[in-house]
Structure 1
Amino acid sequence: MLQTGSILEWITILCKEDFQNRLPDGTIIFTEPLVGLVAADDPELINFKNNNIIGPAFRLPSEWLPGAKTVVSYFLPFSNQIRQSNYCGSLPSVEWLHGRFIGESFNEKIRTLLVNELIKRGGKAMAPLLHKDYRADYDALISSWSERHIAYAAGLGTFGLHRGLITEKGTAGRIGSVITDLEIEGKKLRDRNPFNNCPYLVDHSCGVCIDRCPAGAINREGMDKKKCYRYMFIDDRIKCMREQYNYEHSICGKCQIDVPCEDCIP
């Protein structure tokens, strides 16, 4: 039976050797990943359909792939160079901008190659974010699949005040997932407290991300998703810079870096 360790080793080698995990100047985008699994019929995934979590728009693994048994989730941590480039100022650095878009293209490649690898192993597989039926509602700010929530269910981390996932390698990174009808061994134990890695949500001992947010979207009550969205996609503070590189929308990421949970669990 396929093991989690085999998938981790495969993605790790890809991160180390694939030229697409590099900026034009050769800077590495992602370092060694984390990999987790969640059973396709895990009750936690059904809970995601509740309005106070994601909502009914969320589709279960079996709704994407009939006969689904396992969801593979992985976290790709941004390299130290990418993270530190975005420390200063209220606008994202060029390196962070490239890391987000070139990095996500590499993430899409990992999803595609992982699907192909699982098919070679005799199973069926698909990646929801690459599927034609994936939907994101930008008015309600919900989608039919959430990489962050799946990563939580797979034991990779818990949520922070900034709504990002805090893993053992921090919160600054990208997440991907693939659904398969293969059984895979090596599931991690999920934290029963979905906020356990965030000091502020545990005992109010942090809150650095509140001051890091240039949009003022994070406060002691949580994150205002619409204010965050408006800052990035409507205010579009880096329109000239992103258009220079033909990137389709603005980014930020300030709440993910120069914070205690940047590259570890505080």
Structure 2
Amino acid sequence: YDMPLMGIASADDPFFQKFRELGIVGPDFVLPQEWLPGAKSVISYFLPFTKEVCDTNRAPGLPSEEWVSARIDGEVFNNEVRSFLIEMLKQMSAYAVAPCLDPRFKVVNRISNWSERHVAYAAGLGTFGLHRALITEKGTAGRLGSVVTTLELTPTKRIYKSYDEYCLYLTQGKCGACMRRCPPLAITDKGKDNKICEEYIGREILSRFAPRYGCAKCSISVPCESKNPAV
């Protein structure tokens, strides 16, 4: 990974309640105070993949071995970051929980009860693209993580006004590179069809790389790979 980005959201941010709406995350989204009574802040971070990792995944078709390893083994490291933050906050006399490590975390019908992307949006880290990835100041290619804590921290100011501000296609009708990059054509001008995406991963990728998997062609060799293209 390259140097990370970090943002803070208040646990009382109205966005968390809004995430419960259908079509955003959904009614099963668990609020910060439900993960951790007395929660004051949510720490969100983005771990950008290095250029060397991204370069291996530029060819069309199946993902590279390096990319699949970065996707899965890199998430093992991400879990270590989550655990490290929890321990660090404990040393500061605060309680903390990483929802994605909590036994209450679940995914039902492709929808989880805690979305790292939406949490990062609330924490000022970026906005959404046509491909549904979060576009940060360091792009989309990387991993997100978060921790809920009782420590009161100053929230990061969100400099964007809309959920899609950093996506050239959604705001200006330009680009559309992620549509062309998607092997199963799961991304159209209407957005991303998660069912098509997941069926492709199961059929073409898991069958070759199991237990590892990944693709993210839509986040590589596109203007939002490693930067905010709207700047």
User: TM-score band (shorter)?
Assistant: over 0.9
Counterparts of residues 61-140 of structure 1 (less than 5 Å): 61-137=32-108, 139=109
Q: Deviations over 1:160-189 (max 9, x none)?
A: 000000000000000000000001135232
- For residue 205 of structure 2, give the secondary structure of its aligned residue in structure 1: coil
- For residue 96 of structure 1, give the secondary structure of its aligned residue in structure 2: helix
Q: Deviations over 1:73-124 (max 9, x none)?
A: 0000000000010001310001101111111000000000100100110100
The residue aligned with 1:187 is: 156
The residue aligned with 1:260 is: 223
Q: Say if 1:254 and 1:209 are closer, same or farther in 2 by CA, change over 3 A.
A: same
The residue aligned with 1:165 is: 134
Amino acid at match of 1:236: E
> How large is the RMSD of aligned CA atoms in angstroms?
1.1
Counterparts of residues 10-25 of structure 1 (less than 5 Å): none
Q: Distance in 1 between the 2:54 and 2:99 partners?
A: 28
Q: Say if 1:112 and 1:228 are closer, same or farther in 2 by CA, change over 3 A.
A: same
Q: Distance in 2 between the 1:53 and 1:89 partners?
A: 30
Aligned match for 2:9, one of 31, 38, 46: 38
Q: Distance in 2 between the 1:40 and 1:153 partners?
A: 10
- For residue 237 of structure 1, give the secondary structure of its aligned residue in structure 2: helix
Number of matched pairs: 229
The residue aligned with 1:152 is: 121
Whether the 8 Å CA contact 1:239–1:250 is kept in 2: the answer is: no
The residue aligned with 1:239 is: 207
Whether the 8 Å CA contact 1:214–1:254 is kept in 2: the answer is: yes
- For residue 36 of structure 1, give the secondary structure of its aligned residue in structure 2: strand
Whether the 8 Å CA contact 2:141–2:226 is kept in 1: the answer is: yes
Q: Distance in 1 between the 2:159 and 2:144 partners?
A: 17
Whether the 8 Å CA contact 2:44–2:120 is kept in 1: the answer is: yes
Q: Distance in 2 between the 1:203 and 1:65 partners?
A: 40
Q: Distance in 1 between the 2:117 and 2:11 partners?
A: 16
CA drift at 1:238: 4.9
CA drift at 1:236: 3.5
Q: Deviations over 1:16-72 (max 9, x none)?
A: xxxxxxxxxxxxxx1000000000010011000001211111000001000000000
Aligned match for 2:214, one of 248, 251, 256: 251
Q: Distance in 1 between the 2:44 and 2:137 partners?
A: 14
Whether the 8 Å CA contact 1:236–1:250 is kept in 2: the answer is: no
Of the two structures, which has the highest relative contact order with CA contacts closer than 8 Å and spacing of 6 or more? 2
The residue aligned with 1:19 is: none
Q: Which runs of 5+ in 2 are unaligned?
A: none
Percent identical pairs in the alignment equals 47
- For residue 72 of structure 1, give the secondary structure of its aligned residue in structure 2: strand
Q: Say if 1:55 and 1:190 are closer, same or farther in 2 by CA, change over 3 A.
A: farther
The residue aligned with 2:192 is: 223
The residue aligned with 1:197 is: 166
Q: State TM-score, norm by structure 2.
A: 0.96
